[in-house]
Structures are given as C-alpha cells and as structure tokens.
Amino acid sequence: MSLQARIGRWLLVVLALLPVSGLALAALAPSGWWPAILAGHWAPQLALLALPAWCWLGRRWYSGAAFGALFAVALAPHVGAAYAAPAAPAAADGIVVSSVNLYARNPQRAAACARLEGDIVALIETLAPDREQLRSDPRWPHQHWELPRGHSGYALLSRFPLRARSLELAGAYGLEAELQLPGQAARLLLLHAHSPRSPQLAAANRQQLRLLAEYAARLSGPLIVLGDFNATAAAPGLAALRAVGLRAAAGPQPATWPSWLGPLGIGIDHILVRDLAAAGPRAWRLPGSDHRAVSVRLAALP
C-alpha cells in the first residue's frame, strides 16, 4: 500500500472515530464535567455521525454491544426528555407566543424586527434601535422594555394588557410579567441564562435554571416560562423545570441554535407552560440572528 493510500486510510479512521469520541464524552455528562455537558447537548447529532463507525467496527458481538451501550447511555437524557409528559393540546384558535433572541451583534436588526410575529413576543438581546422601531407598532399596544445590562436588553410585546418588571437570578437577567389573557390572567417569566462556555459559566447556567425552577414553583396559577436557556431539553436544568410542572408543547422540540444549521442544530430556546394548553412548536429564521425564534400556540385548559 502506498504512503498516500495509508495516509488516506488513517484520515478515514480518524474521521470515523471523532464522533464516537464525542459520544463517549456526552455519556459522561451526568458527571457534571464541563466538556461532557457541552457534548451532551449534541448527543443525537453525534450518534448519527457515529453510525458509520458502528457499522464498520461493530461487526463482532462484543464491539457491537459496546457501541450499543455507548449510544444508550449518551442518548438516555434526550430519550427521557422526548418522552416527558407534554402540555395539554391547545385549540387552533389559541394565542401565539414567541421567544426571540435578536442577537446583540445582529447587522440586520431592522429586518429582524420587521419579521417578528406572535400575540406575545419576548425579546432578548435588544438594543435602543429596536425600541425605536417597535414601540409604535400597532400589533403590540402593550410593551415593556428594559435597558441593556452589559450587551443585552429585554422586552415584552403584547396584544394584551401587562405589568412587568426586571428579573435577576444569579446574574441571569430577564422579565417577570402579569398578563391579562383572553378569559384569564397568567404570569410570565423570561430569562437569558449564561452560555456554558467555561466551567464557571456552565455551573452558573445550572444554578440559574435551578433558581428559575424554584421561583416558578412559588408562583400559582397559569404560568409561561420562556427564553434562551442555553441548554437543551436533556439538560438537568430543564429537568428541574419539568419537575415543578412546566411542560413543553407536544411534538419534536425545534432546533434554534446555531441558526445556520437550521433543523440540524440544537434547541436551547424554550417555551414551557403550566396550567395552560400548548401546541404547534416551531422555529423560524430571523435575518442576522444566530438563533432561530421559537413559537407555540397557547390556550386556556379545557
């Protein structure tokens, strides 16, 4: 075999085993190790990329069983999240709620704001020009804007009357609001949890989502919890929110980041509800943002 052929073969081996290594890292996510947590968010994509290596190296029963065990352990949190109890289904005439990360460095802010949709729109990473563009929009006569803290501001646009104030949980910011929806009142919590780009930020993200769950547990009545949680549905922070009765709409939860990967990305923007019906989760593209927006349709419980 020529040197060139041997180099090509080794490159193929490395490329085949890279996703397997990532999947092995994802299997360690319950340990709390920071790189493993990041890999755990991508476990379904890594499993898909690792299938060729399983077909190639798993022909013997013991190696095939080892691959199967690795896939099972790495994907278990995602399978558990997928089979978690969903919210009751909403009727087709429900109101549309959207969670939108506009992206602070978005060079197409005006175009992104023009594409917003929903009866209630929660905005993250807003800047002063967004407020100037949207504050007179007749679709949302009721609005609350918070000035940027660092690089990011927050806003709530609504067809319905609201009262809102700023929310802060262990360094994560957002909004708390009371909404007068058709036929009933509801509470809303919007939060932008830290991106887990380091061990410290990963720990902060887990703490912020845990505190959000504890805060939600103290509130009574219909509740909407939404925002950029920088965590997938399989993360412990989302499990903590489900443990206090918050539910996602039934169906596949759409990928929201990075936007350029479209449906092949990961879902880190969420809309969860308690004592409300929800349906139709979908993601949609915003010009210039690194996130896709996410929307669901909500209604009172039957």
Q: What is the pLDDT of residues 210-257, one digit of tens each?
A: 999 999 999 999 999 999 999 999 999 999 999 999 999 998 899 999
Residue 199: both structure tokens together: 């061990």
Confidence class for position 62, pLDDT limits 50, 70, 90: confident
Checking if the pLDDT of 174 tops 60, the result is yes
Q: Whose CA is closest to 192, among 209, 210, 211?
A: 209
- pLDDT tens track for 13-45: 555 678 888 999 999 988 888 899 999 999 999
At CA 190, angle to CA 184 and CA 193, rounded to 5? 155
Checking if the pLDDT of 262 tops 60, the result is yes
> What's the confidence (pLDDT) of residue 11?
57
Q: Whose CA is closest to 53, among 24, 93, 83, 13?
A: 13
> What's the confidence (pLDDT) of residue 149?
67
| 162-169 and 172-181 strand pairing | antiparallel
Percent of residues, the chain, with pLDDT higher than 70: 94
Q: Whose CA is closest to 50, among 29, 75, 21, 28?
A: 21
> Which residues, in sequence order, are bridge partners of residue 225?
189, 272
Q: Whose CA is closest to 301, among 237, 229, 221?
A: 221
**H or E stretch covering 123:** strand 120-126
Q: Whose CA is closest to 242, among 84, 75, 40, 99?
A: 84
Checking if the pLDDT of 59 tops 60, the result is yes
Checking if the pLDDT of 8 tops 70, the result is no
Say how far apart CA 165 and CA 178 lie, in whole Å.
Answer: 9
Say how far apart CA 190 and CA 126 lie, in whole Å.
Answer: 13
Question: Collapsing DSSP states into helix, strand and coil, what is residue 47?
Answer: helix
Number of H helices, E strands in the chain: 8, 11
| Residue in the structure block whose two tokens are 């800047």 | 127
- pLDDT tens track for 68-112: 999 999 999 999 999 999 999 988 889 999 999 999 999 999 999
Q: Whose CA is closest to 280, among 94, 116, 120?
A: 94
Which domains does the chain show, CATH number per domain? 3-82 (no CATH), 95-299 (3.60.10.10)
> What's the confidence (pLDDT) of residue 51?
87
Percent of residues, the chain, with pLDDT higher than 90: 77
Checking if the pLDDT of 58 tops 70, the result is yes
Q: State mean pLDDT over 120-146.
A: 95
